[in-house]
Structure 1
Amino acid sequence: MIKLFRNIRKKLLSEGKTNNYLKYAIGEIILVVIGILIALQINNWNQNRIENNRARKLLKNMVEDLATDTLMLNRSIANYEFQSNNCVKLLNDSLFVDTKADSIFFMLPLNQMGLLLTTQAFDKINNASLTSLLGSSELDQSISEYYITTAEYAEKQFTWEEQRTNKDEDFWLNALEMEFPQFFKVKNNPNYIQSEPERKQELLRVISSTEGRQRIRYALDRKQIMLNTMKTRKETAIDLISQIKKHLSNE
């Protein structure tokens, strides 16, 4: 093709048709520019198509991440419900006639959980600067709210809960004059020096004290706050899954 254009230009020059040569040369330049622009447009289209496909794949991965989050949140919800119920039992039952000392001890609100989120897809989207290709601004805002705004708030709550629980643990371990049960069963567990009635009496003594009951009440409030936080995050995750699926189906 280039050789053909060159021959045409030579022929026009040899025939002295300068004006025609200039017109032809300009036309040839325009054609070359148009060709370059078309090639660039095709390249951009291909690049956008590749990035859009990648964004779609990452959104599908995000749905899987969110599904994993809901499972973890279910465990957290069950844990905080369990601890809340135990706090109520400790406050309402002053005798625990049919409950052994170890079982009463494990009812104390000393358990805490960390915030676990699956963020692989979200991190990849951020690192690849694909946020502008996620779809509507509403979807982008919902994703940012779940992975950044509410996650930071939940993390602060977990830190607060952890700090308060650690202080409560110090109180119970210092206030109780008894041997504490094994957290993990081992072969041939060692016997306690105190008898079962003595250990139970000591537990109930501290639990029924003013400070003991106050600690349990405050712990109950915390567990309820964390429970509501986990339920809200679960609802947000489910709603975000619905938004992403709707966006993917509309494309």
Structure 2
Amino acid sequence: MIKFFRQFRQCMIKENRVSQYLLYAIGEIVLVVIGILIALQINTWNEGRKSQALVMVRLSELVQDLELDRWHFDYHLRLAEAENHRIDSIRTLLSDGSADQEVLMRMIKNGSGFLTRLQWVMIATTEFPQLHQKTLLSLQNSGQLAIFDHELQESIGSFYGFHQKYSFMIEEIMKEKNIVHADFVRSVPYDPNPEASKLNAVLVEQLWSKVDEAEAGRSYITLLNTFHELNTKTIFFNSMRLGKTKIMIDEMNAVLHSVDGVEEDQKEASEL
């Protein structure tokens, strides 16, 4: 084909058909330019599809991380609410005048049904969940945050900045609970497993006989009141984090649906 057009041009030159040759040359140039533009358009379209596919993959990963975070925030919120409900029940019992010092000491010895050491360790190690930031860190380290539009980048940055602030606050609450609990444990021969202690009942009674019951009671009441106050803060902070996370998930899902819709339109257009 190329050989044919070359012979055609040479023939027009030999026959001195310069004007026709110029028109032909211009037409050939126009065709080449059109071909290049089409190729560039196809390449741009392909790159756009790759970029959109990457956006969908990375956004889906972020949503998965946020769904895990949302579950944790909800779990810890409910944990604090349940603990406060138990504290309220104990405080009601202690305040109605029917519970004497003996009842109070029995509650302390039995761990009051929720302050055993095993449960406290569970609370302390799960109350301050680390955010699932694997995808975010990967995006930051690879520079792929730039694949998202500016508005979404701003939303992501603001969202994680918000969580860092509230994570710090909840971490401080956890430290306070540890301090208060440690003070209480030092005031009594606190047993993490009352059932197992039945094997050493004599030794346990000897230890408890040396306890200042009035001081132990005050320490226990302080523990309950402080835990209730700190749990109330935890409930508030986790409610805020839960709400923000839901909003961020909805925003990302909206972008995912938008990108998916664009891909469907492009696919239909290419088939026409």
Q: With structure 1 as the length reference, what TM-score do the two structures score?
A: 0.70
Q: Which residue of 1 aligns with 2:247?
A: 236
- Amino acid paired to 1:130: I
Q: Distance in 1 between matches of 2:108 and 2:163?
A: 36
**Which letter maps to 1:40?**
L
Which structure: greater helix fraction?
2
| Offset, 1:41 | 0.8
Tell me which moved more, 32-41 or 110-119. 110-119
The superposition leaves residues 28-56 of structure 1 with CA deviations (integer Å, 9 ceiling, x where unpaired) of 22221111111111111122123223333
Q: CA-to-partner distance for each residue in 1:144-175, whole Å, 9 max, x for gaps?
A: 54x43243223322222222432342244235
For residues 90-147 of structure 1, give each alpha carbon's deviation from its aligned partner in whole angstroms, at most 9, with x where no partner exists.
5444345674525233487973622444455566666433213xxxx8xx54x854x4
| Alignment map for 1:49-64 (pairs within 5 Å) | 49-64=49-64
The alignment status of 1:153 with 2:170, answered yes or no, reads no
Structure 1: distance between partners of 2:91 and 2:19: 103
Aligned-residue CA RMSD (Å): 4.0
User: Is the 2:159–2:248 contact (alpha carbons within 8 Å) kept by the matching residues of 1?
Assistant: no
Structure 2 residue corresponding to 1:130, chosen from 147, 159, 163: 147
CA apart distance, 1:20: 2.8
| Separation of aligned partners in 1, 2:175 and 2:244 | 24
What secondary structure sits across from 2:189 in the alignment? coil
- The answer to which of 35-44 and 156-165 deviates more is 156-165
Which residue, 218, 222, 227 being the options, matches 1:205?
A: 218
| 2:109 aligns with one of 86, 98, 101 | 101
Kept in 2: contact 1:115–1:154 (CA 8 A):
no
Normalised TM-score (structure 2) = 0.66
Query: Does the Cα contact within 8 Å between 2:77 and 2:235 map onto a contact in 1?
Result: no
Query: CA offsets per residue over residues 59-88 of structure 1, 9 Å max, x none?
Result: 444444443333323322222212332443
Residue 7 of structure 1 corresponds to 7
- What's the % identity of the aligned pairs? 19
| Alpha-carbon distance in 2 for matches of 1:120, 1:218 | 33
Conserved 8 A contact 1:12-1:21:
yes
Aligned residue number for residue 29 of structure 2: 29
Aligned in 2, Cα 1:81/1:208: closer, same or farther, shift over 3 Å?
Answer: closer
Distance in 1 (alpha carbons) for counterparts of 2:158 and 2:90: 36
The code of the aligned residue for 2:171 comes to E
Which residue of 1 is the match for residue 43 of structure 2? Answer: 43
Unpaired segments of 5 or more residues in structure 2?
263-272
